[in-house]
Chains A and B, each alone.
Chain A
């Protein structure tokens, strides 16, 4: 993958040093010295998010403590024409919070208060730096919870969830972040207060909330979020079903949906993933199965019983070779433990792995798995598969060794091949992790030049100066032209060490 620039500000060219001292002196009028970091050793912890293959030291990091400071930082950066990259917990998987070499990384870590939990309105008002799981913990005394549960929920913040429109294993039934956020409040790139959405069912004018949610910090800086809380289901039970072929598991997924059942979660793991997860957590998975499905039902006891019974009939009719139903909460969590630890379990199989995140129509799951199997041979790399099968969201994990440049190169090609195959099958290059910097090239394939130009124009409508997280999500025409050319040249990247933004 591309190192975007050397990590050595000490010998950086003079314009950078001059710009740095200009920006620092301007910010010093707003923030105490302890809230401004600019020496390399201080800013190094901010050089990447969870996509560690991409690193870039920011010009400056600021850690404001009040909204007035955030507004002033934005206004100052706007006056100096300096890019601003907002940052939460840094758990993003697509490089959305990758710093800008000439920009300010705006850490929002200090905004971690729960402002209000309103059990009557079933809402919580929280600052952007509140962790996802902390919302559900605060709501628990009222029998309520916040439904979206990305796997990083113990660490990731609601501000980051809003930026990425994060999902999780339960979004088949309960929706993504967008469907569970009522209102966000923050600042424009100029530092002007702005609000999108409402605690009322809708707002006057265009519904801008869906643009802001999932915009990866490019349209506004979000300071406060009102989320919808749901009554915690009285009961949840999970079915674990084994299948002799991946095709039959894929067909069973479609059949469950066709039967009018919307499970709370419907997840698929292939044989190799199952073996790795079992080795890691000892969840009791069926190691003989070609694929296993986890199908969860939640609601009142009566609802759950009724749905579980219907689902088992469908799974049996579609060739399940073994079925187990969680008998209690402990066993249900045990069933899920392997799925939730799929990534670390893969980490034990290989020095590095690259997690893909495309979505395809459910009916193409089996075909996609077969194609990925063929790609393993083509690129001489292994790949294990976990899917949010219910909504067709794939997470193939390509195993490789980042210290081997050729493996790294083949891994990138493998990943791009999966994404482009997903587009061909009628899908999309990212289901929930975002485009960030990682999938910029794939955006060239998924969208036409006119569509990308319109998206750029949308950004300009919110941020005319183009200062919020520039260079992410929407690739430039020039970049896409270069990527198109590279494709023609037998799919081998030239000069992989060069920055390509």
Chain B
């Protein structure tokens, strides 16, 4: 099917849903349905919108239709020595670029490379009136009008159907090596804050069960010297790559909650806090990433306890995996912010058809 025909079909579906006020669940590869509040609505599949529209390695830009598998895009970039530096997670081979942008999730390199939204240069979308809108573009610097494309990143599809995105890509760094050092949580957090304030080629970090893992990337000489200076044990490159990928995709044993564990009330929480926040004490087990800025907890503690711990640390908590999501997945917004959210939702999607409730029940 041609792109034009696929777009037309989506548009027709949107208009019918608008007129009948029918909820639509926007779907790509369906690999992230576990994330956010429980999806509802008739499926609106965007997978027919697939393919790389343009890729200009010298421009550092790739423009991709939303239903294109992320794996396909990454392999095309890799052929030219480029990548998506925020390391988007893969929760299955079918995951699409549209889903990646809608979820806004990033992997281990996030703290050093920046969030997904920093790499979104432009978005073409359908709003709730079925209008095809393009915001941003294909260039690095663009301040013409409001930066709507970056709000779409991480919006969980509540504002519209992402049709096409332009992403900034970067060269793969010439050298990449991983170190492991024994260290307790307090010392590890201090060390991570210290290294982030120095010219140290840190690219990713993780702390789990008394071990601090540092991934260094950059110019060969710089990484070589930093490895010598930092000390610790170097992990063999292939094993290290596999380990970081398991973290990224939540295949590491820490993230694997069995059905039995879930039924017992154990949950997976993500706490996003300032990376200089002191250790957070909660019942359960912790896995720290992003230089201290992302602290995962496997815990059966009540949601209120976890959320208040996150708030005290200056951040927020997200219920990522749980048998029961009734306590709410995302931290509640303050009234002034919720009012803006409601009016934004209303402006893009007046009939309230796109992914209703996925972000907040009110939206």
A-to-B contact residues, CB < 8 Å = 118-122, 142-144, 164-165, 167, 171-172, 175-176, 178-179, 188, 192-195, 198-208, 210-211, 213-215, 219, 231, 233-234, 254-255, 257-258, 260-262, 299-300, 302-303, 305-307, 359-363, 388, 391-393, 426-435, 439, 442-443, 446-448, 450-452, 454-455, 457-462, 464, 473-474
* A206 and B276 form a contact (CB under 8 A): no
* B343 and A460 form a contact (CB under 8 A): yes
Contact among A122, A205, A450, A460 for B133, CB-based, below 8 A: A450
**Contact residues in B for A231 (Cβ distance below 8 Å):** 196-200
* B222 and A303 form a contact (CB under 8 A): yes
Contact among A179, A299, A306, A361 for B118, CB-based, below 8 A: A179
* A258 and B144 form a contact (CB under 8 A): no
* A200 and B274 form a contact (CB under 8 A): yes
- Give the contact stretch, choosing among B11-19, B44-52, B259-267, B311-319: B311-319
**Contact residues in B for A433 (Cβ distance below 8 Å):** 143
Q: What string of 1s and 0s marks CB contacts (under 8 Å) between B165-179 and chain A?
A: 000001110100000
* A464 and B134 form a contact (CB under 8 A): no
For the complex formed, measure the closest distance between the CB of B181 and the CB atoms of chain A, giving whole angstroms.
20
Any chain A CB within 8 A of the CB of B361? no
Any chain A CB within 8 A of the CB of B232? no
**Contact residues in B for A388 (Cβ distance below 8 Å):** 141
Instruction: Output the residue of B155, B221, B314, B330 with the most chain A CB within 10 A.
Output: B221
**Contact residues in B for A119 (Cβ distance below 8 Å):** 197
Instruction: Output the residue of A198, A433, A442 with the most chain B CB within 10 A.
Output: A198
Contact among B59, B118, B220 for A175, CB-based, below 8 A: B118
* B117 and A392 form a contact (CB under 8 A): no
23 contacts between A and B (CB under 8 A): A178-B150, A195-B334, A201-B115, A205-B341, A210-B151, A211-B151, A214-B143, A234-B199, A254-B59, A260-B172, A299-B218, A306-B222, A361-B139, A362-B58, A426-B139, A427-B137, A431-B142, A447-B144, A451-B133, A451-B145, A454-B148, A459-B146, A461-B343
- Given the known inter-chain contacts A188-B336, A448-B133, please indicate yes or no for A262 contacting B294, CB distance below 8 A: no
**Contact residues in B for A208 (Cβ distance below 8 Å):** 151, 337, 340
* Minimum CB distance partner of B293 in chain A: A201
**B window 262-288: CB within 8 A of A:** 272-276
* Minimum CB distance partner of B155 in chain A: A206
**Contact residues in B for A362 (Cβ distance below 8 Å):** 58-59
* Minimum CB distance partner of B277 in chain A: A200
Contact among B139, B153, B316, B336 for A391, CB-based, below 8 A: B139
Contact among A207, A431, A443, A459 for B139, CB-based, below 8 A: A431
For the complex formed, measure the closest distance between the CB of B79 and the CB atoms of chain A, giving whole angstroms.
13
* B117 and A210 form a contact (CB under 8 A): yes
* A427 and B139 form a contact (CB under 8 A): yes
* B145 and A302 form a contact (CB under 8 A): no
Contact among B144, B154, B347 for A439, CB-based, below 8 A: B144
Instruction: Output the residue of A213, A450, A452 with the most chain B CB within 10 A.
Output: A450
Any chain A CB within 8 A of the CB of B215? no
* B220 and A454 form a contact (CB under 8 A): no
* B150 and A205 form a contact (CB under 8 A): no
Any chain A CB within 8 A of the CB of B138? yes
For the complex formed, measure the closest distance between the CB of B110 and the CB atoms of chain A, giving whole angstroms.
7
**Contact residues in A for B159 (Cβ distance below 8 Å):** 206
**Contact residues in A for B143 (Cβ distance below 8 Å):** 164-165, 214, 428, 430-435
* Minimum CB distance partner of B338 in chain A: A205
Any chain A CB within 8 A of the CB of B75? no
**Contact residues in A for B137 (Cβ distance below 8 Å):** 426-428
**B window 97-148: CB within 8 A of A:** 104, 110-111, 114-115, 117-118, 127, 129, 131-135, 137-148
The 10 closest A-B pairs by CB, nearest first: A260-B171, A200-B315, A457-B347, A210-B150, A461-B343, A431-B141, A302-B221, A121-B276, A204-B331, A391-B140
- Given the known inter-chain contacts A233-B199, A306-B221, please indicate yes or no for A207 contacting B153, CB distance below 8 A: yes
* A455 and B141 form a contact (CB under 8 A): no
Interface size bracket, B side: 35 or more
- Number of residue pairs A-B, CB distance < 8 angstroms: 258
* B293 and A464 form a contact (CB under 8 A): no
For the complex formed, measure the closest distance between the CB of A49 and the CB atoms of chain B, giving whole angstroms.
16
- Given the known inter-chain contacts A200-B315, A454-B348, please indicate yes or no for A176 contacting B141, CB distance below 8 A: yes
* Minimum CB distance partner of B158 in chain A: A206
Contact among B147, B222, B333 for A210, CB-based, below 8 A: B147
* A257 and B359 form a contact (CB under 8 A): no
Any chain A CB within 8 A of the CB of B301? no
- Given the known inter-chain contacts A122-B196, A200-B274, please indicate yes or no for A361 contacting B343, CB distance below 8 A: no
A402 to B153, CA, bound (A): 44
**Contact residues in B for A359 (Cβ distance below 8 Å):** 139-142
For the complex formed, measure the closest distance between the CB of B349 and the CB atoms of chain A, giving whole angstroms.
11
- Given the known inter-chain contacts A363-B58, A430-B143, A446-B144, please indicate yes or no for A200 contacting B314, CB distance below 8 A: yes
Any chain A CB within 8 A of the CB of B81? yes
**Contact residues in B for A360 (Cβ distance below 8 Å):** 139
* Minimum CB distance partner of B137 in chain A: A428
- Given the known inter-chain contacts A143-B197, A201-B294, please indicate yes or no for A306 contacting B275, CB distance below 8 A: no
A391 to B340, CA, bound (A): 33
* B141 and A200 form a contact (CB under 8 A): no
A378 to B132, CA, bound (A): 37
**Contact residues in B for A473 (Cβ distance below 8 Å):** 145-146
* A306 and B141 form a contact (CB under 8 A): no
**Contact residues in A for B276 (Cβ distance below 8 Å):** 118, 120-121
A116 to B277, CA, bound (A): 16
Instruction: Output the residue of A167, A214, A262, A439 with the most chain B CB within 10 A.
Output: A214
**Contact residues in A for B82 (Cβ distance below 8 Å):** 260
Any chain A CB within 8 A of the CB of B344? yes
* B316 and A200 form a contact (CB under 8 A): yes
**Contact residues in A for B359 (Cβ distance below 8 Å):** 205-206
* B199 and A300 form a contact (CB under 8 A): yes
- Given the known inter-chain contacts A200-B273, A361-B59, please indicate yes or no for A455 contacting B148, CB distance below 8 A: yes
| Given contact pairs A204-B318, A359-B142, A430-B143, a sample of 10 additional A-B residue pairs in the complex whose CB atoms are under 8 Å apart | A165-B147, A201-B294, A203-B272, A207-B151, A214-B146, A257-B59, A260-B82, A302-B221, A303-B201, A303-B222
A326 to B153, CA, bound (A): 41
A205 to B338, CA, bound (A): 9
- Given the known inter-chain contacts A233-B199, A363-B56, please indicate yes or no for A458 contacting B117, CB distance below 8 A: no
